[in-house]
Each structure stands twice: as C-alpha cells, then as structure tokens.
Amino acid sequence: MRIVVTGAAGHLGRLVVQGLLERVPADGIIAVVRSEEKGVGLEALGVRIAVADYNVPETFEGLFAAGDKVLLISSSEMGRDRVAQHKVVVDAARTSGVALLAYTSAAGTHETPLAEAHRGTEKVLVESGLPYVLLRNNWYSEIFVDGLDRVVEHGVLVRAAGEGRIASATRADYAAGAVAVLTGTGHENRAYELSGDRAWSFAEFAAELGGQTGREIVYTPVEVEAYVDLLTGAGMPALYAEILAGAEASFAKGELAGANGDLARLIGRPTTPIADTIAAALRRDEAGGRRGMAGRAQDRRWDNRRAAHLGCAHGGRTRGRAGGVLHRLHRRQAGGSRLSRRPRRAVAAQQPAEARR
C-alpha cells in the first residue's frame, strides 16, 4: 500500500510527509509536486516524487494505483475554480481504484466564499463513490501571527471579529491528524471537525501578546464594512478585502468556535495552544531582527507567501502589497480612527488566567 500526498511541497504537505516518514517506509510515500524543482527537498528525504498539476488533468493519469491511500490537499489558487481542480484528482483516484481519499476541507459551520469550494469538493468526493475522509480543518493558528511585529510596534490589533472565538490549531496539529487517518484504519466515509482544543478571542490574543512582549496591545474591533474600508483605503483590492472581511464576519458569528476534541483524539495529544504559536512567532521575528536586513527580507518573502492564505495571492505585486496594507492599517488605527468602536485595554496584568493557557 502506497500513500500519496498532493500539495506536498506546501507548508501542510511537508509536515504530513515528515509525519508519515515516522510511521511508514519512505519508498511507500509519493509526494506530488508541481515541478521537479519543488520536489528536491522532499526527494532528499527518500520519498518518491510525482509531478502533477490540478489544472492539467493528464498529469494525474496513471499517477495513482489500486489500493493507494491519497491525501488531497486543497488548492491554494484562490482565483481558480478549485472544485474543478480537485475533481481532477478525485476522477483520477476513482479511475485507479484507490482505497481511500482524504480531503483537507473547511469547518462544517464555516459559510464564506472561501468555504464554498470545500463544500463543492466534498459533494464531488462523496458522490464519486470512493471511500473518503473529510478533514474539516478549522483555521491555522499561524495565519493569525503573520505581521505580529507590526502589531507589537503599533500596540494595536485591528480586526472585525467582535467577541468571536476561534478554535484554531497549528498546521503541525492538522498534519498529525492527516497522518493518523492515512496510517490508521476505520476512518472510511467519516467527516472530522478538526480544531484546537480551546477557542480564543482576539481580546485574549491581544492580552497574551501583551503578556509575552511586556507591551500594551489594544484590541480594536471594527465593523466588517469599516474593515473593508480600512483595507481598501490602505490599498488592498476590493475583492481581497471582501474575502478577508468575510472571514472576520464568520469569526464574529462564532462559526469557527466549535471545539469538539476530534483532533486531539486523532493525534493522541492536546493541540497546540495559541500562546505557543504566538511565542514561536515572536522568536522568529526576533531572530529575523538579529539577522538584520537580509533576515528581514527573507521573512518578508515568507510573509508574502503566507499572504496567499489571506486571499491576497494573485501575483507577486498584490502579495507584496499585503504586508504594507496591514502596516498602514495598524498605523492608522494606532493614530485613532472614527471607525473604531470600544477599544479595550488588554494589559498583561488584567488578563484572565484562562486566556494565558
């Protein structure tokens, strides 16, 4: 039995491959990448490499074999018809008679345009008749620590999520969940709502950040429309601003707050607290600062790639602009804005003990 991972050169894919290597022989793992070049690092780990592109159906012909277990990592190409892209993989898997196809989906309660592609793909997969597993991942914690240095610099955290709570977990947690499903038994035709063990709010996030940095960080919740205005006013194209604001509205409604313990049960350990993700990001930023200009430039490239996940990936110029937009947005809020409502002091000393867990 072989295990095939698509999107293997991405952040989540690499973690899945690393996790699989601890459980199965390297030559039983096939990493699907978009180009030979992308596969170089993975090949060095001893796994087999296959080159295929969701946009080119022929590249998936003959890639799978009967009895394979496949992890389809959802496409990161926001401007594309992602359901059609994923259908290419599902069709190829059905033709080959794979034993299982696991798909990285979105939390079941999540109702934004971002989630529509996941619902569409789930339908295609379930109707395909293949044995499937839906890995409905909540948000990645890492998404919330992008640009943390700018938040610390200005002492303001601007979001449009109100009091909403988010049960995020790290990519490493979700990757471990995928590994458990791919190497375990009895997961066929199940949908897992995967999340962190405990949901947090942005007020708690700001308090935690304040506590760890010894700085005062003010969480400034704004209305969704105001958030769009702020983003577009700072130079972000309306399409992307709407996507980001849609996610904030979803947080505010509590659509990402559910924490049922599925992920911790699958991986046999607690998920990573948001405080740990914040600490890791601060260490990374500090190391970037120590490395000077070159280090910061490297981190910026890293950040720009991450901006893709905020719906900002549509060519290098837009990605590059995303960091600047957030910087201007925080600066603007730090200077005070009539759009803000009820800014609250989130000082370390005032934070509830629970927020620091």
Query: 215, 201, 214: which is closest to 156 by C-alpha?
Result: 215
Considering only residues 309, 314, 328, 356, which one is a binding residue for ligand NAP as defined by CB under 6 A?
309
Report, in Å, the least distance between residue 32 CB and ligand NAP. Answer: 7
Q: Count Cβ atoms below 10 Å from residue 55 Cβ, excluding itself.
A: 14
CA 268 to chain centre: 21
Between strands 100-106 and 132-137, the pairing is parallel
Q: Residue 255: helix, strand or coil by DSSP?
A: coil
Considering only residues 7, 19, 211, 323, which one is a binding residue for ligand NAP as defined by CB under 6 A?
7
38 versus 328: smaller Cβ distance to ligand NAP: 38
Between strands 48-51 and 29-33, the pairing is parallel
Host H or E run for residue 127: helix 113-128
Task: Identify residues 64-83 at the interface with ligand NAP (CB under 6 A).
Answer: 73-77
Determine what percent of the chain falls in helix, strand and coil, rounding each to the nearest 5. 50, 15, 30
Between CA 94 and CA 239 the distance in angstroms is 35
Report, in Å, the least distance between residue 35 CB and ligand NAP. Answer: 7
Task: Identify residues 135-154 at the interface with ligand NAP (CB under 6 A).
Answer: 137, 139-140, 143
Considering only residues 3, 4, 5, 10, which one is a binding residue for ligand NAP as defined by CB under 6 A?
10
The residue at minimum Cβ distance from ligand NAP is: 10
Task: Identify residues 195-234 at the interface with ligand NAP (CB under 6 A).
Answer: none
The letter for the amino acid at 353 is A
Considering only residues 99, 191, 279, 308, which one is a binding residue for ligand NAP as defined by CB under 6 A?
308
Q: Residue 167: helix, strand or coil by DSSP?
A: coil
13 lines the binding site for ligand NAP (CB under 6 A): yes
Task: Identify residues 26-65 at the interface with ligand NAP (CB under 6 A).
Answer: 34, 38, 53-55
Pattern 90-119, ligand NAP, x by CB under 6 A: --------------x---------------
Report, in Å, the least distance between residue 101 CB and ligand NAP. Answer: 15
b/e map of 320-346 (b: 16 or more CB within 10 Å)?
Answer: ebbbebbbbbbebbbeebebbeebeeb
165 lines the binding site for ligand NAP (CB under 6 A): no
- Which residues lie near ligand NAP (CB under 6 A)? 7, 9-13, 34, 38, 53-55, 73-77, 85, 104, 137, 139-140, 143, 308-309
